[in-house]
């Protein structure tokens, strides 16, 4: 009797193919699950794991994993207790060095081929003993939110450069240091500086940013840079401000740049601008359009450019037109305080609208940008997938809606912030043409009148593009790229009959979206990420009525609350309105940022609420959501530099029974943290004081390492069902 053939299973695949399949899995939990299938899969998963983030306590060295021998990217910045020195000094110098060398050696033994490292370097011991363990290191990111040690300028970086002769990429974007630490270290280590191709100095902790002389030294020492991100001082009120000379130095000394970010330090803060601001500053930036043209001409390889300044750059249109011709590979552009970026005359496009290769565009504080300029951008930059507009007072819903209609085939990521005429309802109404395609969205929760928006007729939603400023648009089917006519016009508008450009945008693409009601629906089918800004004291409950009733695939939401609650006696309602988010059934990840709420951490004056009661207001109802991950920033009292989890907040957080990860970006008392042990599936909890300056006093029960270690030990002793 013939035996039945055994069915083919996945384990019958050759090891090479199976290894490639497992290597293609990026989700960490999925990889861990695959490793539990059998011994063979465990070996293949470990052999293909190239990136690892350690989260254990450094005192538990016996638990250091030794099976990840193929890891090339190692992240040590989140080792517990967070922010405490990885290689901490002991009582005597000899024991200090011995312990540091031992820990560094054990890490090298566990991960022998690391080429990329992220580490929290609170003291110089970490830089002295750790990077030298991997001579082949090519990428390093340093993290430090605490105060800089009292060392001479450049000493820390000298230790780093001496131990990493092959360093090619250095990221200091979250490393608290001084601007004058960088140039001396580069000059003392010319070989390392010459090897650098990526240098990130976009650090929000710099009080003034880099000056012209420092930029000259940095670019001269690093001629092979391909990516440079640097926080600058553009304000002409300061000595050494960045102007014509510094910009020209960059283009001459670093001609290989493909990524260049230059931003004023004032633009790196999270503070919201005034929506009523006209967009013009008192002083102008001290670099000219001719200088910009010279810089763009010298950086022909640019693919990504950020020029975010704090003073007016007037009449920038001609320079941006040159940018299109001199930098043909440019795909991402961000401009701040640039004026004249798009001022079409009739049907003729100009300025940034001629940069037809752009896929990402961000504009901030453009005082003279109006709806017609915005429409010109939509006509010219037809490949945009990401668009951000901030603090542009003249932009209205009709201009934004027309832009969305023009870019309905490509635009999937939109940020609308601090625009006076674009509140929540008007922003969502403007984005209806792409609501079935958009994947990431940011709006301001300024609750404008929903009834007023809905009562507008179709003619008022858009513009008649045939007659604008006395000019006429091209009606040729193959209209050139520098006029309002384009090859996609027959797609954006009615493709079946020749007619004038329509302005009833309610009927645009009715056949293409598969529904008979055009864009009038309330479903945002592909929206996966939603970011919201909301003022202190305002409620979240009108969110659905504003236009976000149904988001079936929304997985992640970020809510940032800003304002001074000391100006309020109490909120108008009992709860902020987190229960409104119950309608989003796939929502599993939340960032609730109350860090920019200012109030009284301790006893409040008569008639005022302290921060604990405000925390109760904002967290009330969070237990009803099915969240798996939560990042929470407690409100702050700037007078005492305190951001601490309160008793009401701890009590409400313990009701989130589905949480697996909880990161509190502040401090908390040990007995408040013990409340969190009542969350049955909670697996990963950490306190992170990741704000400048992080508290230095480690003797209180809020920050003491022993307190955090006791909580983590209690958390790890629990049995997790899965």
Domain extent, residue 83, equals 51-87+100-179
- What is the distance between the alpha carbons of residues 432 and 415, in angstroms, rounded to a whole number? 14
Q: Rounded to 5 degrees, what are φ and ψ at 694?
A: -65, 145
CATH number (domain holding residue 29): 1.20.1280.50
- Based on the domain organization, do 38 and 171 belong to the same domain? no
| Residue 31 counted as domain residue | yes
- What is the distance between the alpha carbons of residues 203 and 207, in angstroms, rounded to a whole number? 9
- What is the distance between the alpha carbons of residues 419 and 444, in angstroms, rounded to a whole number? 9
| Contact assessment for residue 561 and residue 536, using Cβ atoms and an 8 Å cutoff | yes
| Residue 662 counted as domain residue | yes
- What is the distance between the alpha carbons of residues 516 and 647, in angstroms, rounded to a whole number? 53
What is the model's pLDDT at position 514? 42
What is the model's pLDDT at position 504? 44
Q: Residue 259's beta-bridge partner residues?
A: 227, 304
| Contact assessment for residue 444 and residue 417, using Cβ atoms and an 8 Å cutoff | yes
- What are the Cα distances from residue 578, in Å, to 384, 586, 590, 593? 33, 15, 11, 13
| Number of domains comprising the chain | 3
- Based on the domain organization, do 30 and 131 belong to the same domain? no
| Residue 213 counted as domain residue | no
| Contact assessment for residue 165 and residue 192, using Cβ atoms and an 8 Å cutoff | yes
- Based on the domain organization, do 43 and 160 belong to the same domain? no
- Based on the domain organization, do 166 and 19 belong to the same domain? no
Q: Of the residues 179, 198, 217, which one is the last residue of a structural domain?
A: 179
Residues in the chain: 722
User: Across all residues in the chain, what is the average pLDDT?
Assistant: 85
- Burial of residue 377 (CB within 10 Å: 0-12, 13-18, 19+) is buried
- What is the distance between the alpha carbons of residues 186 and 547, in angstroms, rounded to a whole number? 53
- Based on the domain organization, do 40 and 57 belong to the same domain? no
| Residue 110 counted as domain residue | yes
- Please work out, in degrees rounded to the nearest 5, the angle formed at the alpha carbon of residue 572 by the alpha carbons of 568 and 574: 115
Residues of the chain with pLDDT below 70 are 1-4, 88-97, 449-522, 697-703, 722
| Residue 511 counted as domain residue | no
Q: Of the residues 120, 148, 179, which one is the last residue of a structural domain?
A: 179
| Residue 507 counted as domain residue | no
What is the model's pLDDT at position 88? 66
The two three-digit tokens of residue 502, written as one number: 């329509």
Residue identified by tokens 């994993």 is 65
The two three-digit tokens of residue 208, written as one number: 């003034």
Half-sphere exposure of 52 (CA within 13 A, CB side): 27
Residue identified by tokens 């009927």 is 507
- Based on the domain organization, do 63 and 44 belong to the same domain? no
| Residue 712 counted as domain residue | yes
- Based on the domain organization, do 583 and 713 belong to the same domain? yes
- Based on the domain organization, do 543 and 679 belong to the same domain? yes
The two three-digit tokens of residue 202, written as one number: 């976009």
Half-sphere exposure of 569 (CA within 13 A, CB side): 3
What is the model's pLDDT at position 665? 93
| Residue 313 counted as domain residue | no
- What is the distance between the alpha carbons of residues 44 and 551, in angstroms, rounded to a whole number? 38
Burial letters 660-691, b for 16+ CB under 10 A, else e? bebbbbbbbbeebbebbeebeebbebbbbbbb
Q: Of the residues 143, 160, 179, which one is the last residue of a structural domain?
A: 179
- Based on the domain organization, do 67 and 22 belong to the same domain? no
What is the model's pLDDT at position 26? 86
- Based on the domain organization, do 35 and 166 belong to the same domain? no
- What is the distance between the alpha carbons of residues 199 and 167, in angstroms, rounded to a whole number? 11
What is the model's pLDDT at position 398? 94
What is the model's pLDDT at position 487? 36
| Contact assessment for residue 615 and residue 594, using Cβ atoms and an 8 Å cutoff | yes
The two three-digit tokens of residue 601, written as one number: 């951490």
- Please work out, in degrees rounded to the nearest 5, the angle formed at the alpha carbon of residue 199 by the alpha carbons of 197 and 204: 170
- What is the distance between the alpha carbons of residues 538 and 648, in angstroms, rounded to a whole number? 20
- Based on the domain organization, do 30 and 128 belong to the same domain? no
Distance of CA 551 to the CA centre of its chain: 22
CATH number (domain holding residue 712): 3.80.10
DSSP readout, 285-338? -S--HHHHHHHHHH-TT-SEEEEEEEEEE-S-HHHHHHHHHH-TT--EEEEEEE
The two three-digit tokens of residue 155, written as one number: 């000493």
- Based on the domain organization, do 560 and 676 belong to the same domain? yes
Residue identified by tokens 């970026």 is 341
- Burial of residue 320 (CB within 10 Å: 0-12, 13-18, 19+) is buried
Half-sphere exposure of 374 (CA within 13 A, CB side): 31
Burial letters 555-578, b for 16+ CB under 10 A, else e? ebbbbbbbbebbeeeebeeebbbb
Q: Rounded to 5 degrees, what are φ and ψ at 289?
A: -65, -35
- What is the distance between the alpha carbons of residues 60 and 662, in angstroms, rounded to a whole number? 22
């Amino acid at each position: 009797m013939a035996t039945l053939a055994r069915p083919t299973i996945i384990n019958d695949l050759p090891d090479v193919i199976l290894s490639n399949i497992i290597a293609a899995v990026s989700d960490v939990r999925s990889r861990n699950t695959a490793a539990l299938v059998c011994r063979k899969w465990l070996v293949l998963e470990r052999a293909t794991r190239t990136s690892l983030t350690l989260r254990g306590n450094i005192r538990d060295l016996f638990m250091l994993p030794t099976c990840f021998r193929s890891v090339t990217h190692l992240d040590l910045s989140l080792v517990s207790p967070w922010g405490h020195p990885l290689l901490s000094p002991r009582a005597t110098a000899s024991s200090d060095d011995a312990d540091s060398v031992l820990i560094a050696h054990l890490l090298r033994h566990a991960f022998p081929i690391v080429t990329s490292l992220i580490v929290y370097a609170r003291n110089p011991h970490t830089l002295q003993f750790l990077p030298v363990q991997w001579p082949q290191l090519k990428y390093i990111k340093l993290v430090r939110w605490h105060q800089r040690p009292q060392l001479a300028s450049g000493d820390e970086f000298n230790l780093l450069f001496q131990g990493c002769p092959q360093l090619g990429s250095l990221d200091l974007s979250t490393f608290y240091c001084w601007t004058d630490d960088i140039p001396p270290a580069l000059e003392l280590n010319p070989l390392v500086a010459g090897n650098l191709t990526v240098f990130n100095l976009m650090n929000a902790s710099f009080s003034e940013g880099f000056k012209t002389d420092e930029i000259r030294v940095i670019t001269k020492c690093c001629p092979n840079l391909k990516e440079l991100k640097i926080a600058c001082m553009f304000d002409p009120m300061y000595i050494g401000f960045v102007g014509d000379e510094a910009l020209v130095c960059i283009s001459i000394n670093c001609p290989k740049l493909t990524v260049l970010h230059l931003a004023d330090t004032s633009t790196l803060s999270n503070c919201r601008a005034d929506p009523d601001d006209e967009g013009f500053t008192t002083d102008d930036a001290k670099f000219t359009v001719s200088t910009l043209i010279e810089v763009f001409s010298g950086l022909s390889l640019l693919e990504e450019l950020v020029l975010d300044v704090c003073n007016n750059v007037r009449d920038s249109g001609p320079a941006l037109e040159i940018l299109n011709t001199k930098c043909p590979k440019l795909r991402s552009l961000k401009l701040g305080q640039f004026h004249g970026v798009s001022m079409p005359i009739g049907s003729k496009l100009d300025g940034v609208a001629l940069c037809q290769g752009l896929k990402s565009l961000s504009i901030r504080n453009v005082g003279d940008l109006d709806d017609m300029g915005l429409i010109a951008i939509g006509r010219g930059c037809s490949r945009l997938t990401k668009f951000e507009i901030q603090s542009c007072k003249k932009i209205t819903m009709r201009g934004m809606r027309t832009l969305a209609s023009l870019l309905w085939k490509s635009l999937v990521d939109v940020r609308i912030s601090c625009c006076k005429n674009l509140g929540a309802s008007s922003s969502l109404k403007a984005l209806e043409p792409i609501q079935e395609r958009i994947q990431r969205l940011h709006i301001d929760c300024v609750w404008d009148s929903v009834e007023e928006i809905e009562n507008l007729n179709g003619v008022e939603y858009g513009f008649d593009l045939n007659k604008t400023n006395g000019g006429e648009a091209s009606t040729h089917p193959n209209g050139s790229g520098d006029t309002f006519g384009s090859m996609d016009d027959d797609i954006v508008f009615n493709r079946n009959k020749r007619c004038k450009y329509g302005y009833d945008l309610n009927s645009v693409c009715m056949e293409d979206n598969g529904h008979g009601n055009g864009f009038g629906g309330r479903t945002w089918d592909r929206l996966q990420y939603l970011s919201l800004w909301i003022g202190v004291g305002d409620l979240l409950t009108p969110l659905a009525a504003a236009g976000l009733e149904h988001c079936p695939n929304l997985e992640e939401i970020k809510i940032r609350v800003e304002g001074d609650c000391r100006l309020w006696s109490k909120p108008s309602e009992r709860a902020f309105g987190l229960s409104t988010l119950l309608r989003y059934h796939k929502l599993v990840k939340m960032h609730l940022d109350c860090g920019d709420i200012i109030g009284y951490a301790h006893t409040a004056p008569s008639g005022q609420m302290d921060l604990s009661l405000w925390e109760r207001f904002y967290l009330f109802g969070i237990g009803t959501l099915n969240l798996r991950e939560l990042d929470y920033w407690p409100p702050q009292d700037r007078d005492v530099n305190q951001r601490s989890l309160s008793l009401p907040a701890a009590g409400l957080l313990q009701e989130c029974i589905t949480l697996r990860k909880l990161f509190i970006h502040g401090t908390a008392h040990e007995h408040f943290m013990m409340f969190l042990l009542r969350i049955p599936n909670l697996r990963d909890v950490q306190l992170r004081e990741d704000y400048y300056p992080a508290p230095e006093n480690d003797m209180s029960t809020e920050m003491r390492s022993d307190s955090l270690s006791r909580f983590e030990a209690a958390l790890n002793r629990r049995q997790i069902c899965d």
